[in-house]
Structure 1
């Protein structure tokens, strides 16, 4: 099982290139960034962590710009999003951004996606929260067409364009990792994804995750698809839990880094590096 990290990269914390170099030097498999374009000052949407939304949510760098900077100072690690709020972007523009990033990184980009939870944030982008999952899947399909076809066209409910030329193409079609744990998430992984990105499960919940991974593997075979990866987001820093993930068939875990200055983040990286093995 591989080990990577993720962070809310902010304007008050460690800088991206320093973090990327340190992550690669310590032997981690990948570095993933979160995304929020903004946070509305008035919010009714419930946040799973409590009433008060942490400062980091409104201070994150654009992940694609930051990952491009990280690509210039690294050679090996995977660079990705965990997760991109893909439905808040126009798919033609985002396809170009990701293709450019993938080429600049030497084909190391992975596209973790999710529909998001902040309804007010979506509404500011003109997105009806009631359509968020359908829109996300359609955006993914439209971008994949642009990445893989010389004259791509797409005609859907939310995205509609006649044949277009758009280069550069990515060095490889970026793997799409579908986030979420809901009852229908495996349907989306099989229909539009190359992998699944559930959140970490403490203690006995690993058994439930193992059952869903087994279901995914069975359905993958039935669908005639190749291996679909499982990347656990926000894995508990507990060796016993990590061993249980390995036994369950998890391909990679992503450990959380604090939105803090260089000294604290590097100390955390050193501690997490000790969990590998």
Structure 2
């Protein structure tokens, strides 16, 4: 089992010391959420909270690619995983240039978690159509993967069309692309196009259903024997026995945080308290499995 630390929507000065401490504590990765902007007026709902309230994102949130670059400069082995970057609202060639540069600068310590933004406003302000966003993102994933391979690459799809181009530098080994989302289309896209799937949270029964469906799709597509990462948020991640249960379910990575980032009242949690929490977790869980 690998361990990913999640912190966001907080004092931005915390990230540098947290990255150093997270690496020292034995975590393998730091999860970096993505939010483009916060609209003054919106009817959109957040799909992973029963209330649908999205006001929690009206707080400091750095661009995940810049934040990863910043923290990579102060660490040696820690990886950085977008959780998840809103790929569908961005230009895929520019994204490929950004992530290939980040992967190269960090010595291949970047994992690209991607997904669809649930909010039409993100698409509108970035000049991207809301319609056919899933199909368009599928082409984007192909473009990013192709351009990050290092050779000349051309693409002729329904939404994007360009002749041979090359990026330099690019990662010296393949950059993992992980897909988020709980919908059927998202699960299928993760299996057919990704190196893994990222879970956004929920109860045990929901998680089991999602994992069962992932395995069904993998068997249907004939890739059940292919390496496939599964990153989850679960209360079972907070005990050694729970970690073993998750491993038995096929989970490869757990994502853990030590405050409720959906609760604005927790945003002011002191850095010292965060450092104590992650150190205790390392002692009670990471060192026990």
CA distance in 2 between partners of 1:38 and 1:94 (Å): 18
CA distance in 1, matches of 2:79, 2:217: 23
What is the 5 A alignment of 1:147-158? 147-158=148-159
State the 1:51 CA deviation.
5.2
When residues 145 and 204 of structure 1 are mapped into structure 2, their CA distance, relative to the original with a 3 A threshold, is closer
Using the alignment, how far apart are the partners of 2:120 and 2:169 within structure 1? 33
Q: Give the equivalent residue in structure 2 for 1:122.
A: 123
**Is 1:41 equivalent to 2:50 in the alignment?**
no
Tell me how far apart the structure 1 counterparts of residues 53 and 216 of structure 2 sit (CA, whole Å): 36
Pick closer, same or farther for the CA change 1:257–1:130 going to 2, 3 Å. Answer: farther
Confirm or deny that 1:25 pairs with 2:34. Answer: no
Preserved contact between residue 89 and residue 117 of structure 2 (Cα < 8 Å): no
Q: How far 1:78 sits from its partner (Å)? A: 1.6
Q: Deviations over 1:224-245 (max 9, x none)?
A: 863111111x332543543321
Task: Name whichever of 159-168 and 195-204 sits farther off.
Answer: 195-204
Which aligned pairs between 1:56-75 and structure 2 lie closer than 5 A?
A: 56-75=57-76
After TM superposition, the runs of 4+ consecutive aligned structure 1 residues lying more than 6 A away are none
The separation in 2 between residues aligned to 1:54 and 1:22, in whole angstroms, is 29
Give the stretch that moved more between structures: 67-76 or 147-156: 147-156
Deviates more, 1:45-54 or 1:163-172: 45-54
**1:206, distance to aligned residue in structure 2 (A):** 4.3
After superposition, where does 1:159-170 map in structure 2 within 5 Å?
159-170=160-171
Cα separation, 2, equivalents of 1:152 and 1:254: 34
Q: Is the 8 A contact 1:13 1:262 kept in 2?
A: no
In 2, Cα distance between the equivalents of 1:26 and 1:185?
Answer: 33
5+ residue gaps in structure 1?
Answer: none
1:262 and 2:261 equivalent?
A: no
Say yes or no: does 1:8 pair with 2:8. Answer: yes
Q: Go from structure 1 to structure 2 and tell me whether the alpha carbon gap of 1:28 and 1:224 turns closer, same or farther (over 3 Å shift).
A: closer
Q: Relative to structure 1, is the Cα distance of residues 31 and 184 closer, same or farther in structure 2, using a 3 angstrom cutoff? A: same
Does the 8 A contact of 2:150 with 2:169 survive in 1? no
Confirm or deny: 8 A CA contact 1:213 1:249 kept in the other structure: no
Distance in 2 (alpha carbons) for counterparts of 1:38 and 1:206: 29
Question: Which runs of 5 or more structure 2 residues have no equivalent in the other structure?
Answer: 260-266
TM-score, L = length of structure 2: 0.86
CA 1:77–1:92: 2 relative to 1, 3 Å: same
**Alpha-carbon contact 1:9-1:16 (below 8 Å) kept:** no
**Higher RCO, 1 vs 2 (CA within 8 Å, ≥6 residues apart):** 1
Identify if the C-alpha distance between structure 1 residues 246 and 14 changes in structure 2 by more than 3 Å, giving closer, same or farther: farther
Residues 175, 225 of structure 1: CA spacing in aligned structure 2 closer, same or farther, 3 A cutoff? farther
Query: Does structure 2 retain, via aligned residues, the 8 Å contact 1:8–1:57?
Result: no
Contact 2:123 2:129 in 1 (8 A): yes
Aligned to 2:253: 252
Counterpart contact for 2:139–2:159, Cα < 8 Å = yes
What secondary structure does 1:15 align onto?
Answer: helix
How far off its partner does 1:212 sit?
2.8
**TM-score normalized by the length of structure 1:** 0.89
The alignment covers a number of residue pairs equal to: 274
**Cα gap change, 1:206/1:141 in structure 2, threshold over 3 Å: closer, same or farther?**
closer
Q: Could you tell me how far apart the structure 2 residues matched to 1:216 and 1:242 are?
A: 24
Distance 2:225 2:58 in 1: 36
